[in-house]
Amino acid sequence: MCPVADAHCPPLALIHHPGYRIALPEKHPFPMDKFSVLKRLLDRQLADCASAVDWVTPEPAEEDDLLSVHTRRYVHEFLTGTLSAQAQRRSGFVWSEALRERSVLAVGGTLTTVREALKRGLACNTAGGTHHAHPEAASGYCLLNDIGVAAHQALEDGVKRVLIVDLDVHQGDGTALIFADEPRVFTLSLHAESNFPARKQQSDLDVPLPRGMGDADYLAVLERTLTEVLTRVRPQLVIFDAGVDPHAADRLGHLELSDSGLYHRERHVIQRCRAAGAAVACVIGGGYDRDIEALAWRHSQLHRAALDVWREAHGQPALFGPPG
């Protein structure tokens, strides 16, 4: 039996749209099905606790949103389908109208996640984290930089200090480049040192991690680093990219985190940032296991940890805890 949320525990905002998933050519390496499978998995996990969450449906981003961090030429070529063959190869996708609509919708999802986080204190997307997209080009399956767009909009809406906590196994190079000269946005990236991208950008703080690092060492580095950064930055908003590609089974990661390690990582980031007074907007980031069910389970650790932190902060018992 699920402990029913009372008036003192409002539901946690989760952002999803069925348009996050589109059909890709057979054997395409990007695991597009993970978005719909993640939603179904969360629905099953919350079947007896539907009142604990508030599902929010986003609208697509506007062209002006994209222009806040991308060049006019790139936005025009992306929206009109006139990207060169070389640009499409760099992106990892062949352009299509469906891909365009899906990408603009995903940016809208992260914009919505940030708005809900600023309103409520915490919100989680079921997509997002396309941190390799540069101002002038796509890269590494990232077509539009949703984190960059959402952080810029938060500044426009009056937020004074934004912290981007990027824990994807790959450096958030596009986001680092976008905000290289913006002192109101602090970019933190913990990533495998010997991994994509080969040419890394300069974040405000980069923490390259050695191949094979496991739960205990990873969490110790994270705890020490996050404490230092929160004290230094004092953010009003944290955008948390919770990529699960540091997992030991991920085919594109070089670290060795477990399912439990992911849960403890997500819980620590959300709990510490909320305790520091920041609103926290979460996106799921990367994850590339061909076993889509296992991959969705790893991504769900973000939502499970967020809901546990949210309920405990409102005097309610956690629903999940770390996976056994």
What pLDDT does residue 324 have? Answer: 81
Q: What is the pLDDT of residue 1?
A: 42
Half-sphere exposure of 146 (CA within 13 A, CB side): 33
pTM of the model: 0.97
Number of domains in the chain: 1
CATH classification of the domain holding 47: 3.40.800.20
pLDDT of residue 248: 97
In a domain, 7, yes or no: no
pLDDT, averaged per 10 consecutive residues of the chain (324 residues), comes to: 63 98 94 98 94 97 98 98 96 96 98 98 98 97 98 98 98 98 98 90 97 97 98 98 97 94 98 98 96 98 98 96 92
Contact between residue 225 and residue 205 where contact means Cβ atoms under 8 Å apart: yes
- Residue 320: inside a domain, yes or no? no
> Is residue 324 assigned to a domain?
no
- Using the Cα atoms of residue 29, residue 85, residue 133 and residue 118 in order, give the sign of their dihedral: negative
Q: Domain limits at 90? A: 12-313
4 domain residue, yes or no: no
Is residue 139 domain-resident? yes
Q: Does 152 map to a domain? A: yes
Would you state the pLDDT for residue 8?
A: 75
pLDDT of residue 183: 98
Q: Identify the pLDDT of residue 2.
A: 59
Report residue 58: phi and psi, to 5°.
-85, 165
pLDDT for the residue numbered 230? 98
318 located within any domain:
no
